[in-house]
Structure 1
Amino acid sequence: MHLAMIGTGYVGLVSGACFADFGHHVTCIDKDTAKIDKIKAGVMPIWEPGLEGLVKSNIQHGRLSFTTDLKAGIERADAVFIAVGTPARRGDGHADLTYVYEAVRELAKAATKPIVVVTKSTVPVGTGDRIAEILKEEGAPEGCSVASNPEFLREGAAIRDFKIPDRIVVGAEDDHAREVLKEIYRPLFLNQAPIVLTGRRTAELTKYAANAFLAMKISFINEVADLCEAVGADVQEVARGIGLDNRIGAKFLHAGPGYGGSCFPKDTLALLRTAEEAGVEQRIISTVVSVNDDRKAAMADRVAKAVGGSLKGKRIGVLGLTFKPNTDDMRDAPSIPLIQRLLEGGAEVAAFDPVGREQAEPLLPGITFAEDEYETAAGADAVVIVTEWDEFRALDLEVIAQKMKGKALVDLRNVYDRAEVERFGLVHFGVGRGQYGANSV
């Protein structure tokens, strides 16, 4: 089939490349000429394992192309996916649909035949209804359909998630749209990927509900971690004990500094705004948001206690800046409020991230960016593990201890065991590890 993808950000570029790899002919469209030129030259706008090779391969095989010309890009398309940004609107948390509706208006004017318009962007309930209205208002050809096909990709594992999905959700109001999307995803049926066919509004809400539930699991285990510290239990063993129950599952039960990234923070807020407009209280999700905000703000206090109570004049080494490993995404990363509060407390901060420096530098003025993890530790009173990159899972702790001025390893991701760290003369401060007392933070 011939597909068009409006937007070459995270969702659009990954989805477009994967659809092309299935054998479809895909044209990705973006207004940013510089971005399109870089992609054509093999320079990816995002860091995602395997993406560069996938894009280059499908360009070479003639299945994937890029353009800034919307009319030419959709000329042969059977379906056009909208994958533009829907950031949280400043001030109220609503999803900003400016880019979505702008794309639809331009699409309506450029279309010369009936097409299926599919939202891949994360949008509030009812957005598909408004898209259908705009298509009519702007004179789109008769017979156009509108569908919702939310993505469930994890940054750092997006290609695998696209090709081996837990489920494919298709929300449509007519048989034609459903059949077109079933044909687009037919290659995945060979792997027996479950497809959920439902209405547009249900599909739109499914995406928000899924992310809100996962955010809730993270906030839940973080609160359990605090309780573990108070009563002398180990949160990792608690998480394993409950995660083996298949009604609960082990994923997203890892205690840490709170959730961040491009999805959970904005989607939980957008769900709350949707519920507010509908007059339906969402007390659990409201609490999840508050717990997470408080969690991120409290991380600097843990570091302060690990170095004796005051940050003034202390040098703190921070390992990991992105919100999770295997991405360069800094959106709502827990490292940002942590470092800001460290600086406000009078600390000097050196940080290292394997791929996130370019995105982090404009967000974190006033810190030193180290060349590697060992330079980060040099002269540090404490080293803080914020993002659990693989590079940080097998540090030479003997070298770290030799380079540090102090002894505190604040392990916000529970990468290390206490006994392992203490063999090298360091003091381990984990999260919810049942060790608190003499070493309490």
Structure 2
Amino acid sequence: MRLHRGGRLRWPTIGLAAVVGIGVLWHGRAAPALPTAEVKTGELVDFVELRGEVKAVKSVTLNAPSSTDGDLQIISILKNGTGVKTGENVVQLDTVKLQRTREQQQSDLKRAEAEIEGAQAQARLQEEQNRTELMQARYDVERARLDVQKQEILSAIEAGKTKLRLATAEQRAREAEQKLRSGRAAAAADIESKKQKRAKALFEVQRAQRGIESMTLKAPVDGMVTILPNWRGRFFGANAPEFKEGDRVWPGAPLVELPDLSAVRVAARVDEAERGQLSLGQTAVVRVDAVPDKEFTGTVSDISALAKIDFSTWPPPKNFDLALRVAQSDPRLRPGMSATARVAIDRVPGALLIPVAASFQKGGRTVSYVLRGARFEERTIEIARRNREQIAVARGLRAGEKVALRDPTEEASRR
């Protein structure tokens, strides 16, 4: 190899060029293909998220009769979602036992009526007999009086006998009159007692008939059938199944609801930790699982004052019942549909917002990676407020910048 003038300087120059070349290549690489989000100015809404179900604000509940002894059995029940008109049958319960009772009561009623007829017939016979005896007694009195009138031509002894016979006849007449009156009173009392017995038997028959009629649950208003859960058929930790044909129900059990879907609410439960953040009148955004293309607005309309134990999980937590009145109606809404509600508990207007996924922890600092040309630049940011999905940035970012949703340094280390 031949030596050239200045040859000693050529090797360092080549080396420096190589180093510079490598640096340019590293800095000039295209940014990793990472998802990004734009930094925007908007309102940060801090919220409490609740799960619940849709219910009608007004509804009519059909209950099993509460005046029966023991359980009842469902013979037939309309399907969920069936539209009904006022007066139509919705649920039919078993009436066999009540029909047997009614037949027994009807037999008792017929027997009571027969007893009344017998007592009335006996009273009429006794009345005739007493009347005959009274007439005979009065006849004897008149005949005795005629005999007394003949005392002028009779001896003193005979006259005394006739007076005695007259007194005896008059006494018998008085006794016959008294017997007639007492017989009438006794017959009337006996008949009245039997009438009361008949009235009681008739009442039992009518009650049995009303009981049979109450086994048919009819729609008191127009509506749509919503079958309620059978809590007896619920296993621990599972949802209660709906009532169905063949189920046995307890007296007074709520079986079916006919909701007025012109106004609906979301019934939810809130735990003790979040109860203090909620109050009446707070607004909410409601999404119904079965209506994914529509977002509803709502208002907190009721919060229970006392906590209840929820046995659907273990250990059972204490929480509060909460109701959200939904402002809009939709013909697709049905009672029992699952819904998610986000109740706004605080608002920060004019905030610089990024997704929670756009912030990272690096050496005790909170940073974001801002897209600058072909690379990501690490910046320390200061968080003002945050919710579950967004962060309000106090310093470090500007509106319109794009930030990485995944850590680019980790992506580079995987390559």
Flag whether TM exceeds 0.5 (same fold).
no
Considering only CA atoms, is the larger Rg found in Structure 1 or Structure 2?
Answer: 2
Classify the TM-score, shorter chain.
Answer: under 0.3
- Structure with higher helix content: 1
Length-normalised TM-score, structure 2: 0.20
